[in-house]
Structure 1
Amino acid sequence: MWQDIINIIISNGIFAILFVSLLFIQIKDSKKREEKYQEAIKKLSHHLDVVEDISEDVKEMKKIIIIPKKKGSKLNEI
């Protein structure tokens, strides 16, 4: 078995074997990195939804608190 592996390395060259092995390592590493990026994107999109909800709540509160002043009337107190 080892003799067959040595014959393959000699016939194809050590650089071909190194290239293929490094290629597989890089693909495996890229897959892990992509999974981490996808998880980060999910978390950020969730946080963005929370910020948008807070923004809508603040807009509603502004509408309630800040009422346009009519002539001769006082601001409504809460």
Structure 2
Amino acid sequence: MNRENLSKIDAAIIMAFLTAISYRVAYAYEISYQKYYHSPDMFIELNMYSITKIALFIFCFLIGACLVIYGGIYQKLGVMGMT
């Protein structure tokens, strides 16, 4: 396999993982919301809006975490004029 095919597989795995995590977090949020109002679990509704909202939050959090981690590393090393 060449490098291009490997990068596509990795991106597909990452997107599948992000989608699965988003479903899980959205479902946990909906369960806690329903339990607060003492509603039965049968009224939980997961739609594209709730999944997309959670996926966007997770994506932004991961990008922010990477920027903080790599920014700290670059600052300690004095790379790219960040001294």
The TM-score bracket by the shorter chain reads 0.3 to 0.5
TM-score, with length taken from structure 2: 0.42
TM-score, with length taken from structure 1: 0.44
> Greater Rg, structure 1 or structure 2?
1
Structure possessing the higher relative contact order (Cα contacts under 8 Å, 6 or more residues apart): 2
